[in-house]
Structure 1
């Protein structure tokens, strides 16, 4: 009789393993639908907004000032954001009262300048692109073309007056309109 019970227990174990393996292939829960990949829009165009974000923006736009204030404080609380003032610490202050002793402050002489490409002559565009490529280190022709076509752009920033004047002179020779700030 002992041999029979051992044989039954072994059969039951095999049956359970078989049952588990069969039920593993059956999926009682439907799988979540796979989202389709979207192709990003080309640069320079507005990217499409998801319907969820669009709905939220529309609802927020229809809130009154009190509701906006409540929403703002709730978001600050939930997102653990610091309380940043919307205006300067002193707010809008009227002109300060004149001091009895007038201290003459020396005028600060500007020593650092920024050179901006404001616009360019279309006829001399190729020459300007080549000059920009030569002047700005690490820039290839494609980058120089995009840089020039993106005018107004900063050519160089935080440079001394002499260098800014030389840069302006060189770029104006090839049809650029330059502004030094």
Structure 2
């Protein structure tokens, strides 16, 4: 190993995890590369093994709930129709679902289905959130 390489390695060893992350980001910008892409048979050393704390893994949410927040009194009938269409509830249960708000209308559904239901309910005059 050359003297320059040894000096760079020693300097890298003295960096904190935050400084190291900033350095990687700067190298990516300067040289137009992606440090997360594996090259050849190489491997990435886990931060915990490098002396830092392991990064927190954030899981992407895959199921959503459609929450009926509010319904104007003059929009109850159209909203009831949409609720019955989306949930297959009987008229009595659908009416009960809009009297005690906020209430989860649909639970554990895909993002696309939740957004579609939200749009239908909002078009009918309801105030809706997806969580």
Runs of 4+ in 1 over 4 A off after TM superposition: none
Who is 2:72 aligned against?
Answer: 121
| Superposition RMSD in Å | 1.5
The answer to which structure, 1 or 2, has the higher relative contact order (CA under 8 A, 6+ apart) is 2
Once the two structures are superposed, the pairs formed by residues 1-181 of structure 1 within 5 Å of their partners are 101-137=52-88, 139-181=89-131
Mark the structure with the bigger radius of gyration. Answer: 1
Distance 1:107 1:146 in 2: 37
User: Structure 2: any 5+ residue segments left out of the alignment?
Assistant: 1-47
User: Structure 1: any 5+ residue segments left out of the alignment?
Assistant: 1-98
Distance 1:159 1:118 in 2: 18
Distance 1:149 1:103 in 2: 47
TM-score of the superposition, structure 1-length normalised?
A: 0.43
Deviation at 1:115, TM superposition (A): 0.9
Distance 2:70 2:109 in 1: 21
Kindly tell me the number of residue pairs found equivalent between the two proteins: 82
Q: Which has more strand, going by share of residues?
A: 2
